[in-house]
Amino acid sequence: MCLSLVGGCSFPVISSFVLWVISIYTSSFQATVMRQFYRKVRRFHVLVSLMLSSQTKDEVTYAAMQRLRQRGLTVSQILELRPDELGLLIRPVGFWKKKVVYLQETCKILASKYNSDIPDTIEGLCALPGVGPKMAHLCMEIAWGKVTGIGVDTHVHRISNRLGWTGEGTKTPEGTRKALEDWLPRELWSEVNLLLVGFGQQICLPIHPKCNGCLNKDLCPYGRRSSQSTSQKSPKHGDVNAKKSEQ
């Protein structure tokens, strides 16, 4: 016999409704937990890819990340690997033997201090093995969505000095970062690394930059000097014709 409640609803009806509400809240809670987990894993992937990318070509870093993802790329899964197993997955990234040590030491710190997440401050990131200011600022922007500074690598350092963006010039990437941040509005900080790295890989090369084909050559002090030097070394048409007539 059903127990009648307020409004004529029986206990089984109320019970079913309560169970339905509980299931909705449970599903919502589980979905929230899963979203938080995947965000945490994504942040870890960002950190790992930055650590691998140092002194390494983009395509090599990408291939190493693909192998790690296929094997399983979480803090606990990296800690389960023997150093030689991790080495096989990430080589031939630059300095891969050191990076094996850095990755596993970093994962120990993340597991013990950050609940397998990554630090959300520059200081915390720079305290991790193998992580410097450039990686830390890029990681803060990509993983946490916070612009804390300009990520200055060798390309940004070189091009900024060639363009005259650092005043009298800087000797180190960290010096370049400080000079750029003093000069550029904060809303432009996030664009610098993205714009200059590819440009440095394709056009403004460390050795034999392609100044003649560069659209910025008339604005760039280095490009203007390079063009003048090239024109002085190249023989004029009259000189070439004169040499031909002498022959």
Cite the active site residues.
Answer: 134
Cite the DSSP H helix spans in 2-153.
Answer: 11-53, 58-71, 75-80, 83-90, 96-113, 122-126, 133-144
Contact indicator for 238, 232 with CB cutoff of 8 Å: no
Q: Say which residues have a Cβ less than 8 Å from residue 169's Cβ, sequence separation at least 6.
A: 161
DSSP single-letter state for residue 235 = P
Burial of 146 (0-12, 13-18, 19+ CB in 10 A): middle
Rounded to whole angstroms, the Cα distance separating 137 from 160 reads 18
Q: Would you tell me how many other CB atoms lie within 10 Å of the CB of residue 188?
A: 13
Residue in the structure block whose two tokens are 């339905």: 20
Rounded to whole angstroms, the Cα distance separating 214 from 223 reads 8
Contact indicator for 163, 176 with CB cutoff of 8 Å: no
What phi and psi, each to the nearest 5 degrees, are found at residue 7? 80, 5
